[in-house]
Amino acid sequence: MSVAHAVAHGVFGRACLYVMDKAMAPHAHREGHLIFHIHGPQAEVVVDGRPFPLSPGQAVAISPWQPHYYRPLTSRDNVLVLVLYIRPGWFVHASRQASEILRFGRVGVDVTDRLARLVSDTGHLLGAHGGTDGGFEDRLSALTQACFDQTWQWTAEGQQFIGQDRALRDFRIRRALRLLDETLGEPIDLARLSRAAGLSRPHFFKLFREQIGLPPNIYFNALRMERAIERLALGKETVADIGLDLGFSTPASFSRFFIANGVVPPSTYRRSVMAHATQ
Amino acid sequence: MTLIGYLTRTQFADGAIDDALPEEASRLGKALVLIDPEPGAAETMARVADALPRVRLASFCVDDGAPRRSDVAQVLGALDRAEASTIIAIGGPGAIGQARLAAAAAGRRGTDCAVIAVPVSLFDLGLGRQVRLRDGEPVTCPRPDRVIADPTALAHAPPRRLAAAGMEILVHAIEAYASPSYNPPADGLALEAVRRLARWLPVAVETPGHAEARRETLAGALTAGLALEKAVGGVDALAHPLEDALAGQALPGELHTPVLAAFVGFNARAVGERYGALSQTFGPTGGPLGLDARLAAFARTLGLPATLRETATDPSRFAGVAERAADDPAALANPRLLTPGDCRRILEAAW
């Protein structure tokens, strides 16, 4: 089973050190996402259906709402990774840069000496102090900025822009998004959702994919993960209650869902966040 | 979505130190004057003191060159001893960068510190997004709260030093315009800065007492500083390690032109048509000269080197400089990905 070594929550979003041992389900989230290989054999991350290597020299940058999942290449050894979930709003303030909010220019990040130093410092501060050390946020900011800048640098190999021209969102899709948000605790009912949007099911699916860039069920899962993470970090309710509220009939099904979308079981995740929060 | 902000109050006029500074600062009881050894800084400090007779001024001197993180504690100590919450920074990038750094640190410890910048040379006037340090990563710092841009403060600058400094800010304006990050207002400012500096810097260097040329070059530096809301490119990554290797034998900014001219070829495909538009701002030409050739010709009219061969640079050190350059944070701001091998080839092209 995958293990969380350390998890830090903050204004920047989340930073996690995970030991990965199995493939995840395709998923997406509203944060920008950076995944760095720290130790173990090479693995890969499939982004928009295309595999990208995750190795000591290659990291992966995923823009908000880009569907992706982790996939090991060998089943023998575990891989230690540093995973950042960066809030786009924080990034704009931290960088004060006038540019597209945390949309990476391309997925593959070349881990240069400078980046490797920043990754190692960030991972070390996270592992040793759970991100509570004063320099952690500065380091995280420098690392995110460096990766962001690099993904926009031109290379002869190309893969220039992704998703720079984002279409205006259709009002029917906006209505569906609102409904999804309001009915998080219920099983997803696509027929009802299409009806509420005033579209036929195939048309609704097509339009949703076009405008959001991923299918409605993956979007719905992202909302459930967000809510679950938020409530787990607060530490007030039991894990079982959170699962039930989010529409999972048993703790085991909630746990399976959480592992597939977020690496470790919900109880482990909570322990990792709490470990440093209470110190 | 794009976040754009041009938010600093600037007083720009011949005599702004005597006339506008009292308006901005005479109500302060106390202030710390931070000064660097830039030519003309001491004379300007005397003017500042005369303009603010009722303000109790303490002073603190910093080195020439880029500011240091390790000096911040001393500056804050001087600020505390002066019981002041305002720094009046007089000089070049050294004093004004150090003041911004100290103000950011004061903010982190929970005390407010305002910065009034009084530049006496050509640079970004403290308006660039980041402060480049001598010891460590560049830091994003708040801009000065006030800029007193008084062209008469440039009167003491030796012409060659003024030429090199003007060239450095001109190179940064070119890089800002060529940078692929999306910021149309900054593009407009960058292009205007290039046009103004290309037109007036040679006059200001040639005729030191020329008031209009002095005014227009400082206006060019101010406009370029505002354009630096956009990133500057990779020239700093190479030029600064080269300057360090020369240990004071090159004026600040002197090596920027040869390096940029070599970058033009390397970046051409990443930058696209923008180098062509920049080339036009240097005025009409008889033949179809590229930006690299225009820059070289421009440097020569200023009496500055157009290739590294004309400087004291030692080409046997290129390998080490290239390694440092690829590792420099400024390398990430270049439009095209820079490897140590690329840096080496750029240095050779600049020779």
Domain boundaries, chain B: 9-156, 159-350
The conformation of residue A23, written as its DSSP 8-state character, comes to P
Span B266-285, average pLDDT: 86
By the CB < 8 Å criterion, does B237 face chain A? no
Segment B223-244 shows an average pLDDT of: 88
- Residues A23, A144, single domain; the answer is yes
Residue A94, pLDDT score: 65
- Position B23 scores a pLDDT of 87
Q: Do B336 and A155 touch (CB under 8 A)?
A: yes
Q: Is there a contact between B332 and A156 if contact means CB atoms under 8 Å apart?
A: no
Name, of B64-68, B260-264, B280-284, the range with top average pLDDT.
Answer: B260-264
**DSSP letter, residue A146:** H
CATH number at residue A222: 1.10.10.60
pLDDT at B284: 73
Cβ partners under 8 Å of residue B285, min gap 6? B294
The minimum CA-CA distance between A93 and chain B, rounded to whole Å, is: 9
Q: What pLDDT is recorded for position A197? A: 84
Q: Give me the pLDDT at residue A165, please.
A: 37
Which helix or strand (DSSP H or E) is residue B187 part of?
helix B184-206
Residues A143 and A191 in one domain: no
Residue B35 and residue B62 in contact, taking contact as beta carbons nearer than 8 Å:
yes
**Burial (Cβ within 10 Å: 0-12, 13-18, ≥19) of residue B59:** middle
CB A139 within 8 A of CB A118: yes
Residues A146 and A192 in one domain: no
* Residue B304 neighbours by CB under 8 Å, 6+ apart: B160, B163, B164, B167, B254, B257
Find, among A201, A198, A138, the residue nearest to A171 by Cα: A198
- Residue A124 sits in the same domain as residue A206: no
Co-location of A19 and A73 in the same domain:
yes
Q: How many CB atoms lie within 10 A of CB A185?
A: 12
Closest partner CB to A153 (pick from B2, B3, B337): B337
Name the strand (E) or helix (H) holding B239.
helix B235-246
For residue B321, what are the CA distances in angstroms to A137, B314, B325? 30, 10, 6
**B329 touching A (Cβ < 8 Å):** yes
Q: Is the pLDDT of residue B229 over 90?
A: no
| Residue A90 within a domain | yes
- Provide the residue count of chain A: 279
Count, residues in chain B:
351
Question: How many whole angstroms separate alpha carbon B351 and alpha carbon B347?
Answer: 6
A196, A176 in Cβ contact below 8 A?
A: yes
A131 and A66 together in one domain: yes
- By the CB < 8 Å criterion, does B6 face chain A? no
- The answer on pLDDT for B155 being more than 80 is yes
List Cα–Cα distances, B342 to A131, B209, B326, B345, in angstroms: 36, 43, 8, 5
* CATH fold label, B9-156: Rossmann fold (3.40.50)
pLDDT for position B122: 95
Note whether A112 contacts B326, CB cutoff 8 Å: yes
CA–CA distance, B198 with B202 (Å, rounded to integer): 7
Q: Which domain holds residue A263?
A: 171-277
The DSSP element (H or E) to which B91 belongs, if any, is strand B86-91
Task: Say how far apart CA B279 and CA B290 lie, in whole Å.
Answer: 7
Nearest CA in chain A to B140: A95
Query: In whole angstroms, what separates CA A18 from the centre of its chain?
Result: 13
Query: A193 and A100, same structural domain?
Result: no
Three-state DSSP class for B58? strand
Burial (CB < 10 A; 0-12, 13-18, 19+), residue A249, is exposed
Compute the half-sphere exposure of residue B208: CA atoms within 13 Å on the CB side of its CA.
10
| A158 belongs to a structural domain | no
Question: What is the average per-residue pLDDT within B3-7?
Answer: 48
pLDDT value, residue B4: 36
Per-residue confidence band for A164, with pLDDT thresholds at 50, 70 and 90: very low
pLDDT at residue A155, as a whole number:
80
* Residue A163: per-residue pLDDT: 32
* pLDDT at position B124 over 80: yes
Per-residue pLDDT band for B84 (boundaries 50, 70, 90) equals very high
User: Do residues A140 and A176 share a domain?
Assistant: no
pLDDT digits (tens, 9 = 90+) for B157-200: 999 999 999 999 999 999 999 987 778 889 999 999 999 999 99
Query: Which range has the worst mean pLDDT, A79-83, A179-183, B42-46?
Result: A179-183
Give residue A214's pLDDT band: very low, low, confident or very high (50, 70, 90). Answer: confident
Domain's final residue, options A119, A152, A185:
A152
Q: Do the chains contact at B3 and A113, CB–CB below 8 Å?
A: no
Per the CB < 8 Å rule, is B334 touching A153? yes
CA A262 distance to own-chain centroid: 8
Q: Which residues on B lie below 8 Å from A137 (Cβ)?
A: none
Task: Provide the 8-state DSSP code for B154.
Answer: G
* Closest alpha carbon to B174 in B198, B204, B201: B198
Q: What is the pTM of this model?
A: 0.78
Check residue B5 and give its pLDDT.
40
DSSP class of residue A154 equals: B
Q: Which of A103-112, A208-217, A227-236 is predicted with the least confidence, judged by mean pLDDT?
A: A208-217
Residue A95: what pLDDT?
A: 63
The pLDDT value given to residue A175: 83
- CATH number for position A134: 2.60.120.280
Tokens of B235: 């020239």
Average pLDDT of chain B to the nearest whole number: 90
E strands in A12-132? 13-20, 32-39, 43-47, 50-54, 58-62, 68-72, 79-86, 108-110
Q: Which residues contact A117 (CB under 8 A, 6 or more apart)?
A: none
- What are the phi and psi torsion angles at A184 (to 5°)? -60, -35
B186 contacts chain A (CB < 8 A): yes
DSSP string, B312-338: T--GGGHHHHHHHHHHSGGGGGSSB--
Is the dihedral angle over the CA atoms A33, A37, A39, A45 positive or is it negative? positive
Tell me the residue type at B43.
E
Query: Mean pLDDT over residues B30-52, rounded?
Result: 95
Pairwise pLDDT comparison (A2 vs A11), residue with the higher score: A11
B7 pLDDT above the threshold of 50: yes
CA gap A202, A267 in Å, rounded = 38
CATH topology of domain B159-350: Dehydroquinate synthase-like, alpha domain (1.20.1090)
- By C-alpha distance, the chain A residue nearest B227 is A98
A44 falls within a domain: yes
Single out the residue in A94, A125, A152 at which a domain terminates: A152
Residue B221 confidence (pLDDT) above 90: yes
Spatial contact of B127 and B147, defined as CB atoms under 8 Å apart: yes
Looking at per-residue confidence, does A119 or A189 come out higher?
A: A119
* Residue that is written with structure tokens 């979003």 in the block: A13
CA B41 to chain centre: 16
What total number of domains does chain A contain? 2
Q: Are residues A139 and A184 in the same domain?
A: no
B200 CA to centre of own chain: 17
Give, to the nearest 10 degrees, the angle between helix A88-95 and helix A136-152.
90
What DSSP state is assigned to residue A20? E
Kindly identify which residue of chain A lies nearest to residue B336, measuring between CA atoms: A154
List of chain A residues whose C-beta atoms are within 8 Å of the C-beta of residue B137: 142
Q: Nearest-CA neighbor of B41 among B155, B131, B126, B127? A: B155
Same domain, A97 and A196: no
Name which of A101, A110, A153 is nearest B1 (Cβ-Cβ): A101
